[in-house]
Amino acid sequence: MRVVAVRTWKSLLADRLFGRAAELGFYFLFALFPTLFSASSLLGLAAKSAEQIYDKLLHYLALVIPTAALGTVLSTFNETTAAASSGKLTFGLVAAIWSASVGISAIQDTLNGVYKVSETRSYFVARLYAIGLTILLTGLVTLELACMLGGDYLASVAHDQIRHAWMADIAATLSRLAGWTVATLLLALSFAVTYCWAPDLKPRRWRWLTPGGTVGIVGWLMASLGLRIYLHFFNNYSITYGSLGAVIILLTWFYISGLMLLVGAEIDSEISAAAVEARVSAASLTSSAAVIPTIPS
């Protein structure tokens, strides 16, 4: 464990992950609104017309996005979708997926550096991979939001239909717990899909949950919570940056998100490298023992 931690830290510095995370943060900001637009389009015009459902789905983002930046995100997003019609929606969805795939392309390049592999795919093939990942990840994000909404909906139904208060509370708690559990599994699936299909790995090995993925998910959630707590007590960004304070906060959160994604990949890369080195060392010792000449008596 200690060896992997030391190797990961050295590789993190050697691969310039702190700088690469800043690069990802910029591309994440660039892809944020196209991704939200794509997710809302997948929910359909019916969900958009139901303002309560639509607003509740968007406000689930407040669980991870700092509150100081969420208002800017929602107001900008509402402006971009206010005049959306069915015709504009189809064209906008295609354009949004193409724009959001820029962020996935940045992840491809960065993870190639983390896993120490060269990009052998052509530009068009790599971009097709990025577009496919964008569509898949957008669908997973939509399902995560829908699971949380479904848990809350079942909880409200339990309170309305079950007469006994204690039974209603238990049913509501179980409903919310089930929704959040499925959403967490989908989040783990998002990390697994990214680690498997974004870099140009040969051969690709599918793993649902890896040590690096676990560290990345937990680290991202804890870092997001820590940033929210920090901003609650020391929110001086508006004093320093004025009206750009919300944008700086959002960029900081994207930077943390990108860093946690890369740290998880780096941990998996170092674990794989350590395992390969151990096998090579064992094979070398075995072959050396096999060729030791015997001394005749």
292 pLDDT exceeds 60? no
**Both structure tokens of 92:** 């906008």
Mean pLDDT of 80-86: 56
Residues 186 and 140: beta-carbon distance below 8 Å: yes
- pTM of the full structure: 0.79
Answer yes or no: is pLDDT of 88 > 60: no
Output the pLDDT for position 296. 56
Residue 50 has pLDDT above 50, yes or no: no
Residue 78 and residue 72: Cα distance in Å, rounded? Answer: 10
Contacts of 109 (CB under 8 A, 6+ apart): 119
What average pLDDT does the segment 117-122 reach? 89
Residue 45 reports pLDDT greater than 60: no
Question: What confidence tier does 150 reach under pLDDT thresholds 50, 70, 90?
Answer: confident
User: Checking phi first, is residue 209 left (phi over 0); if not, alpha (psi -120 to 50) or beta?
Assistant: beta
DSSP 62: G
Q: Tell me, what's the pLDDT at 238?
A: 65
Give the Å distances, CA to CA, from 176 to 45, 160, 170, 179.
Answer: 26, 15, 10, 5
pLDDT of 230: 82
Please enumerate in sequence order all residues whose Cβ is within 8 A of that of 257, keeping only pairs 6 or more positions apart, or say none.
24, 25, 28, 220, 224
* Average pLDDT of every residue of the chain: 78
Percent of the chain having pLDDT more than 90?
Answer: 7
Per-residue pLDDT, 263:
92
pLDDT at 90 over 70: no
Spatial CB neighbours of 208, under 8 Å, sequence gap ≥ 6: 188, 189, 192
Highest mean pLDDT pick, 30-44, 93-107, 118-132: 118-132
Judged by average pLDDT, the poorest of 7-11, 36-40, 225-229, 252-256 is 36-40
